Structure 1
Amino acid sequence: MPFAVYMVGLGIFTQGTSEFMLSGLLPGMADDLGVSIPDAGLLISAFAIGMVVGAPLLAVATLGWPRRTALVTLQAVFVVAHAVGALAPGYPTLFVTRVVSALAYAGYWGVAVATVVALVPPAAKARAIAVAAGGLTLATIVGVPAGTLLSQYSGWRAAFWAVAAATVVSLVCTLLAVPGGRGGGERPSVRAELRGLARPQLWLSYAITAFTFGAVIVTFSYLAALLTEVSGVPEGWVPAVLALFGVGGLAGITLGGRTGQSRPLGTLALGLGALALFSALLALTARVTAVAVVLVFLLGFVGYVTNPALQSRVFALAPGAPTLVGAGNTAAFNVGNTIAPLLGGMAIDAGYGYASVAWVGAALAALGTAGVLWAAHLRKERRPQSGALTSAPAPQPNPACEVL
């Protein structure tokens, strides 16, 4: 695996820490800013909204740039936004900086995935994506617990400064490790990329992505509050439990990197079905501390085992749009990331308690499973006509490898 792939993953790690660390910072931020925890949770949705808008917008804006230039520029914007956020005098300013940070991070994700795909042969695409996306899983293992611990001793603003500093380090590593050109030798075309997005099956895959990540993030967003208020976990142990979620995610994404390209629909069906089951179990048993902690690990595992399949499958569906297809999938992830915390906050505000967010996760996972089953049905119907699809990246002789 090229060293540059790992450095791209480092960039995802530093910025992804910011994406997820608010789950451990919400109680302290709510107190400091004078808002409720559900209102503070809207900062997660603000970040997600920025990513939904930013992914396709910045993918188009930077399409003709050398990929290293695009990555570094977007990281620089991210750093500035976090510095302003750390100094924010109140909730409105912080809300704006979260959107700007997300715009930059979304653009980074879109360019990053296209970069790692261009750096490896077709058979290694899913693994390269898994390695780069593993930076996000590492963020939940190391970055989020570290940010939570730092905030407990020095306040949430210190966590923002730490993310900004770590992103500066990753920016320098990107300059040193990522090739300066675009890779592949092709000259990008917005029109050609847009044509590649015209397949209905691709948009079904985007819907599955949104449901899947929404099912993961709705519980994770309020996990610190759920653990302390319902499960009885002492506040000092919350970073360790959040890290356990990340350990499960790392194990899941490692397995998913091996199965996600060869058996994408099978991986998604099993992962989503298990995600629905474990989310429902958490809703039912959240007051039993030991069971809740085990389920946190399992939710991380089954949530992230789907990630490589969700990522590599869209490239197989639209091989002619390597930049916009990844940006579209990033937007789809964050449609789920936007709507799910809102739904979770509504459930809490309606008086159903913090455990109710796990029921929301179970429902979203069930919808995602239904989408996968529909995709499998369409594939079965189209199989006699699917010969034209064998030109997709990383074709496999096994029929289970076919994608829509």
Structure 2
Amino acid sequence: MSGVSEHVVIVGAGQGGLQAAMSLRTEGFTGRISLIGEEPGLPYQRPPLSKAYLKTGAADALTLRPAAFFEKHDITLVTGTRVDSIVRDTGHVLLGSKTLGYDHLILATGTRNLRPPIDGLEHALDLRTLEDAKRLRKELDRPRTCAVIGAGFIGLEFAAVARALGHKVTVAEAAQRPMARAVSSPIAARFAEMHLQMGTRLCFGQAVKEVDETGIHLPDGEKIDADLILLAAGVRPNVELAQAAGLPCDNGIVTDAQLQTADPAISALGDCAVFPDPRTGRLVRLESVQAATDHARTIAKRITHGTATPYAAVPWFWSDQSDLKLQIAGLAFPEDDCIECENGSVLRFDGDALTAAETINNPKVHMKARKILALQAPPGRDTLKRAGYDLTLI
């Protein structure tokens, strides 16, 4: 694109969608930009909802950019509006009775809470949007007995905040350990111990069977009383818009290494997109703000300059739970080996290849890991072994 008269429409006004609009302007795109969000209000940060916001209630601190920013950079922000369908043949999206044409469409539709087949889930609260967090915070204004369904990042972050505020908390998780999809067993064990020390009860290998207004029911027959129940059992990518338009989807909207879908006029980014892992070629989907912003920058460069540079940024993730800060550099798969280091970090390996580094309260090692993993030829297992697996010596 030359960027003179074209129109880029971005569906999804979260952090990734906003970054796409900002990056287009940074790269010199001079055409029209429309950023469409289903939620009302200005784009905001989602990660603090399960952490700082529950403590402070400072909603204004979540806002990513003020209203004046959009006017200054000639970005049309449309909020509280749902895109109903994509008409690929004519290059239009339908918004109720309105039609909006595009030259390039970016799908940043994100995810929504996964709702397992559990009877009575209408009694459980969600923690996905700012409105969800406002309601949850209001419910925590008096002593509560909380039950959390799911021991992933969101469930455990909420549990840590709730316990720190003096509430009773039980976490029920279908897997045998916390954060099973995200971290190694040693790191999971350290976080489990921290939550136990805080007084949280952890029930692993317990897929909740039923929820009612008085608590949750476990498969072993135990009833756990609770007057506040949070559903935090994972997320599902919002692919329905893409699917209805005939775009291939497989646990996300399928893209190539440049985040382009099967339709060259449509890209996808962030939590809703699957793309080939640069190292293995396996299709992966990353639930990470940083991945979404890196995706956005990659797409903006392609649209503005016509470059076909593949997305190859090192992914990284984090979670704040009580006084422990988990940071993960890289992307490990469940079958990857793990090596526990003397400094408390855990290195993950696929054969000889370093795939990820997991750290707790150790930003120095985390940053070093990101630099190492970004190398064209990162040091292998034998080299790291000779250094005592101390990344700071590499």
TM value normalised by structure 1: 0.25
Highest CA radius of gyration, 1 or 2?
Answer: 2
1 or 2, which has the higher helix percentage?
A: 1
TM value normalised by structure 2: 0.26
Give the number of the structure with larger relative contact order, counting CA–CA contacts within 8 Å between residues 6 or more apart: 1
1 or 2, which has the higher strand percentage?
A: 2
